């Protein structure tokens, strides 16, 4: 069987563990069925830069590097998509299926039986559309999705690979920021802006600090909760009465109705609007309305690519999701996405759901886990998040620096 595997969407710290899992399972399958002509000599081609690279026939044979156990191990710990990525949406086949024909042609030319696509909502859209079209065309080529996103907003899976390591990074960093901003005697407010344009899972996960005995973050603001600048200022004022240092975790996706100016309020010298994020905006509000020391911190792409201390649970799950996809292919499935189900004692099983369910949908943070005040999350959220960050994976170091795998 010839597999092609591609990565798509934003990078994570765990997406390469899924890639490694795909390769490992394909090799395992060959060993398991030495007599079966279909599986006895599996090949895994890596597609560079997702569907876009596929259209340009950018294939590499993963065996060239990953047959080396050291390189395979290194790949699992290396952040960001080693195969490269793309931001690309297939048009609707009903409107124009020329690209679909081209993809099929290329897959057939390279004798590919299964395309595995590691990605988020948009990638599952590709999996759903392409698998449906291929089926309708009578093609036996299978397309299977492997979930990944630090946003944790994929429908149908308990959580997503990559999220756990992002949660761990966020909480460790917030804890360090809390140590840092607590050293002075003056009152201060620290606003940390956290990724999550449509769903507040990552920002919400900062509640784990509370479980770890920390007082911060004092407030957590999510796109799922009602949030106004007025409420924010009231919250902060109130908290400053009893806390020297107030730390707020703010999801980048919050949209305070009383701050519609915040992305268009000012222009730079060229007349371009300042794209000031919500963190910077709230910093200015505190400066103006409260007047105490205030700082905003944007964790930027470090949230998704930091890998010098990953969650072991996350990397293992990412790997198993990749492996599961290969086994689902072996079972003849297509148009599905690997999904994790959580058992009673966090025993994860690796299931599958139709990719169309995950495509273009957003799973938001549960309203039931947001406090009535809309500025914190409940202990149920802690129970949900805590297992995801367990265990540590440290990088392999050489001469004081991490070693990264590169194709």
The piece of 148-156, 182-190, 222-230, 372-380 that touches a copy of itself (CB under 8 A) is 182-190
Of 40 and 302, which CB lies nearer to a copy of itself in the complex structure?
302
CB 245 within 8 A of CB 190: yes
The piece of 18-26, 113-121, 261-269, 344-352 that touches a copy of itself (CB under 8 A) is 261-269
User: By CB under 8 A, is residue 236 in contact with a copy of itself?
Assistant: no
- Taking the complex as a whole, the smallest distance from the CB of residue 340 to a copy of itself amounts, in Å, to 18
- Please give the structure tokens belonging to residue 339: 């999904």
User: By CB under 8 A, is residue 168 in contact with a copy of itself?
Assistant: yes
CB 120 within 8 A of CB 2: no
CA angle 388, 393, 394 (to 5 degrees): 145
C-alpha distances (whole Å) from 210 to each of 151, 347, 376 are 21, 24, 11
3-class SS of residue 312: helix
User: By CB under 8 A, is residue 292 in contact with a copy of itself?
Assistant: no
- Considering only residues 371 to 390 of the shown chain, the ones binding a copy of itself according to CB under 8 A are 386, 389-390
- Considering only residues 2 to 21 of the shown chain, the ones binding a copy of itself according to CB under 8 A are 7, 11
The piece of 29-37, 77-85, 216-224, 367-375 that touches a copy of itself (CB under 8 A) is 77-85
- Considering only residues 21 to 50 of the shown chain, the ones binding a copy of itself according to CB under 8 A are 49
CA angle 115, 116, 120 (to 5 degrees): 130
The piece of 103-111, 135-143, 216-224, 283-291 that touches a copy of itself (CB under 8 A) is 283-291
SS (H, E, C) 140-197: CCEEEEEECCCCCCCCCCCCCCCHHHHHHHHHHHHHHHHHHHCCCCCCEEEEEEECCC
| Number of residues this chain uses to bind a copy of itself (CB under 8 A) | 71
Among 66, 195, 203, 208, binds a copy of itself (CB under 8 A): 208
* CA gap 245, 7 in Å, rounded: 42
Q: What is the CA radius of gyration of the chain?
A: 23
* CA gap 114, 331 in Å, rounded: 12
- Taking the complex as a whole, the smallest distance from the CB of residue 258 to a copy of itself amounts, in Å, to 13
Sign of CA dihedral 220, 214, 347, 151: positive
User: By CB under 8 A, is residue 185 in contact with a copy of itself?
Assistant: yes
Among 41, 67, 234, 267, binds a copy of itself (CB under 8 A): 267
- Considering only residues 309 to 328 of the shown chain, the ones binding a copy of itself according to CB under 8 A are 309, 311
3-class SS of residue 63: helix
Among 79, 119, 162, 217, binds a copy of itself (CB under 8 A): 79
User: By CB under 8 A, is residue 297 in contact with a copy of itself?
Assistant: yes
Among 41, 212, 234, 360, binds a copy of itself (CB under 8 A): 212
The piece of 38-46, 119-127, 306-314, 315-323 that touches a copy of itself (CB under 8 A) is 306-314
Residues carrying an active site annotation = 151
User: By CB under 8 A, is residue 85 in contact with a copy of itself?
Assistant: yes
User: By CB under 8 A, is residue 394 in contact with a copy of itself?
Assistant: yes
* CA gap 89, 96 in Å, rounded: 13
CA angle 211, 212, 213 (to 5 degrees): 90
């Amino acid at each position: 069987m010839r597999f092609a595997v591609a990565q798509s969407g934003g990078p994570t710290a765990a997406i390469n563990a899924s890639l490694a899992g795909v390769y490992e399972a394909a090799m395992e399958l060959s060993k398991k069925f030495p007599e079966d002509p279909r599986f006895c000599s599996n090949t895994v081609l890596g597609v560079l830069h997702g569907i876009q690279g596929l259209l340009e026939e950018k294939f590499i044979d993963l065996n060239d590097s990953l047959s080396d156990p050291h390189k395979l191990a290194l790949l699992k710990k290396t952040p960001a998509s080693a195969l490269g990525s793309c931001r690309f949406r297939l048009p609707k086949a009903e409107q124009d299926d020329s690209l679909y024909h081209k993809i099929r042609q290329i897959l057939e030319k390279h004798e590919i039986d299964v395309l595995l696509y590691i990605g988020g909502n948009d990638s599952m859209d590709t999996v759903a559309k392409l698998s449906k079209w291929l089926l309708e065309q009578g093609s036996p080529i299978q397309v299977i999705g492997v979930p990944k996103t630090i946003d944790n907003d994929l429908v149908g899976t308990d959580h997503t690979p990559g999220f756990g390591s992002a949660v761990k990074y966020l909480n460790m960093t917030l804890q360090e920021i809390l140590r840092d901003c607590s050293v002075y005697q003056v009152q201060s407010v620290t606003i940390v802006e956290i990724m999550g344009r449509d769903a507040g899972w990552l920002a919400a996960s900062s509640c784990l600090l509370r479980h770890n005995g920390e007082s911060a973050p004092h407030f957590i603001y999510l796109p799922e909760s009602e949030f106004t600048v007025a409420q924010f200022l009231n919250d902060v004022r109130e908290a400053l009465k009893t806390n020297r240092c107030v730390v707020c975790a703010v999801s980048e996706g919050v949209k305070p109705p009383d701050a519609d100016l915040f992305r268009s309020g000012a222009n730079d010298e060229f007349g371009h609007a300042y794209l000031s994020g919500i963190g910077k905006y709230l910093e200015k509000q505190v400066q103006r309305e409260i007047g105490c020391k205030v700082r905003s911190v944007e964790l930027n792409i470090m949230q998704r690519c930091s890998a010098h201390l990953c969650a072991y649970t996350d990397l293992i799950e990412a790997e198993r999701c990749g492996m599961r996809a290969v086994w689902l292919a072996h079972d003849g499935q297509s148009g599905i996405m690997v999904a994790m189900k959580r058992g009673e004692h966090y025993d994860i099983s690796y299931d599958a759901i139709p990719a169309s369910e995950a495509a273009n949908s957003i799973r938001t943070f549960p309203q039931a886990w947001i406090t009535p005040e809309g500025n914190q999350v409940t202990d149920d959220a802690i129970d949900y998040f805590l297992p995801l960050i367990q265990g540590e994976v440290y990088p392999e170091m050489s001469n004081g620096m991490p070693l990264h795998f590169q194709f």
